Every structure is written in structure tokens, then in C-alpha cells.
């Protein structure tokens, strides 16, 4: 192969994760590159992580490691609740969290509220293993702004899962105490909510502020953590807000066939390294 041919074949996607940190993935193919009414949607194919969904330049999921994130977001709260019948998923248009939620027989209905229908359809087209539960009869899809949706619902959900993009533009409100208050109102008395709260290495301030915001609204807030290789630094956090029950206690077993979450992992996920505790407990 000549020098020119080598250069043409050597295509890379670069994610600008922070002003000082980038992730580079060699790409085999660009499968979709479009602007939706809300955000830029890119799907690339890679040798390292399979197909990758990118929104406004930020990796949302890869075929290879999506299970690490989706299983934790769903099962940390669903397995802690005694009887999770009604589940609300905010964001999460790819369907990965919904796929995990309907693995629980107790779940009677899952409502998915994502502002961007194009993300949902992109996942249906390119990520069938992630979006496969979106057609399940227990799943209701509402393509709308979740900030408006939660205002209209009171004492209705056992579980609320906030699977949002990073806090910019139309997603920024999803990290604010005003929104957490509406989520609190939408939950039943023994309800639990979980939100992804970024990396303690890449975004310690964001983690600390989101956690503080949740503490100002919920009776009890707990932090859990896990590994997601393609999210900035690979070290990811999940904040759990509770009105009454302690989510560190697993009340129901993990569904069969999980690859990251397990009965052993549940209590361990809530054990924090001291530097992370300092971030959430400091001023």
C-alpha cells in the first residue's frame, strides 16, 4: 500500500471530552451524519468498540461497552425497590435503559420521554440490540421535553431514571434542583430516582453540584460508581435519590444474563474511594 492509500484509509473520530482531554477512535465507516431539530447525530463503525452513537460530538454509547452503563442505570434502582411497577426513563432515546428495565417481571409499564425522536429512530436503525425493547407492549414513548413532562405528573412512578446528555442546551435543566423537585413530586413515597452524574476525574465540579442539588431536594442521596470505558476517564458515577428506602440494600435479584451488574456488585457500587467522598461531601 502506498503512502497516499494508507492516509485515506486512516480515518479517526476525535471526541473532545474536556478542554484538556480527547478520545480518538479509528473508524471503518461513517454510517450516519445528520442534523436533527435538536442536535447533530453521528453513527460511526469502529474496530475497537463496534458501532458508536455520537450526539453533538459526545459519545453516547458503543456496542461493546453500553451494557456497563445501561445495566447500572436500571438495576441499581430496580433491584433496590420492593415492587417497581411504573418506571419513567428521561432521555435514554437509544432504548438501552428501557431494554434493561423490562427484564423485571414486576415492571408493568415503562414511559420513555426523549425530546428527540430522531435519536430513537437512529437507534432502531443502527443499534437493534440496544433499541430492541422499544416495541414491547409495556413501553410507552413520549417524544417531548422531559422538563415539561414531569411537571404534569404527581405520585405516579416507583422509579425515575434520568439518562440525559451532558448538561448543555436543552439538557442543562435536567441537572437543576427545580427539575429534581418535579421528579420528587412525580415519585411515589417509596420511589427511587437515579441520574448519571459524570466522572470525578473529568468533571468533579459538575458531580459535586449535581449531588448537592439532589441533596437539597431528596430526603436521602447516595452515590454509586462503575466503569464505562468510552465515557471520559472511564470512571462513572450514578446518583440515587430516595424519599424513604435505602437503595444500598438489594431487595430483588439481578435479572438473568447481566454482564456488568450482579448481586455481588450491588453493595460494592455504593462503596466510595475517599477522594470521591471528598468531592461530594466537600464545600
Residues forming contacts to ligand SAM in the complex (CB under 6 A) are 38, 55, 60-61, 69, 90-94, 113-116, 119, 145-147, 163-165, 170-171, 174, 196
Residues 226 and 236: beta-carbon distance below 8 Å: yes
Q: Which of 65, 116, 158, 163 is catalytic?
A: 163
Nearer to ligand SAM, 202 or 282 (CB): 202
- Asked if residue 65 belongs to a known ligand binding site, the reply is no
- Is residue 89 within 8 Å of residue 101, measured between CB atoms? yes
Q: Which is nearer to ligand SAM, 27 or 147 (CB)?
A: 147
CB 39 within 8 A of CB 55: yes
101 is in an annotated binding site: no
- The continuous run of DSSP H or E covering 199 comes out as none
Q: What minimum distance in Å lies between the beta carbon of 83 and ligand SAM?
A: 26
Among 216, 231, 233, 242, smallest CA distance to 276 is for 233
Closer CB to ligand SAM, residue 92 or residue 200? Answer: 92
Report CA-CA distances (Å) from 163 to 26, 176, 252. 27, 14, 22
Counting Cβ atoms within 10 Å, is residue 251 exposed (0-12), middle (13-18) or buried (19+)? middle
Q: Closest CB to ligand SAM belongs to which residue?
A: 91
Q: Is 145 annotated as a binding residue?
A: yes
Least distance (Å) between residue 81 CB and ligand SAM? 21
| Residue 136: active-site member | no
Cβ nearer to ligand SAM, comparing 111 with 196: 196
Closest CA to 67 of 42, 88, 94: 94
Least Å distance, CB 67 to ligand SAM, is: 12
Residues marked as binding?
Answer: 39, 70, 94, 114, 145-146, 163-166
Amino acid at each position: 500500500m502506498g503512502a497516499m492509500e494508507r492516509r485515506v484509509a486512516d480515518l479517526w473520530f476525535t471526541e473532545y471530552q474536556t478542554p484538556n482531554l480527547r478520545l480518538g477512535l479509528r473508524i471503518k465507516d461513517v454510517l450516519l451524519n445528520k442534523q436533527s431539530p435538536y442536535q447533530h447525530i453521528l453513527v460511526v463503525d469502529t474496530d475497537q468498540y463496534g458501532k458508536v452513537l455520537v450526539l453533538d460530538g459526545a459519545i453516547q454509547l458503543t456496542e461493546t461497552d453500553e451494557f456497563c452503563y445501561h445495566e447500572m442505570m436500571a438495576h441499581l434502582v430496580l433491584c433496590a425497590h420492593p415492587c417497581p411497577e411504573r418506571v419513567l426513563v428521561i432521555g435514554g432515546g437509544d432504548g438501552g435503559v428501557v431494554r434493561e428495565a423490562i427484564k423485571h417481571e414486576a415492571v408493568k409499564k415503562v414511559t420513555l420521554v426523549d425530546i428527540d425522536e430522531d435519536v430513537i429512530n437512529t437507534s432502531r436503525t443502527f443499534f437493534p440490540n440496544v433499541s430492541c425493547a422499544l416495541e414491547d407492549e409495556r413501553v410507552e414513548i413520549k417524544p417531548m421535553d422531559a422538563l415539561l413532562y414531569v411537571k404534569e405528573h404527581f405520585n405516579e412512578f416507583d422509579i425515575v431514571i434520568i439518562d440525559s446528555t451532558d448538561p448543555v442546551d436543552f439538557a442543562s435543566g435536567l441537572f437543576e434542583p427545580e427539575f429534581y423537585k418535579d421528579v420528587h413530586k412525580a415519585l411515589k413515597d417509596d420511589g427511587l430516582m437515579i441520574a448519571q452524574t459524570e466522572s470525578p476525574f473529568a468533571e468533579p465540579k459538575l458531580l459535586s453540584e449535581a449531588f448537592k442539588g439532589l441533596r437539597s431536594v431528596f430526603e436521602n442521596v447516595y452515590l454509586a460508581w462503575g466503569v464505562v470505558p468510552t465515557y471520559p476517564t472511564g470512571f462513572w458515577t450514578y446518583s440515587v435519590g430516595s424519599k424513604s428506602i435505602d437503595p444500598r440494600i438489594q431487595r430483588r435479584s439481578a435479572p438473568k444474563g447481566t454482564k456488568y451488574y450482579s448481586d455481588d456488585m450491588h453493595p460494592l457500587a455504593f462503596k466510595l474511594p475517599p477522594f470521591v467522598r471528598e468531592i461530594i461531601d466537600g464545600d
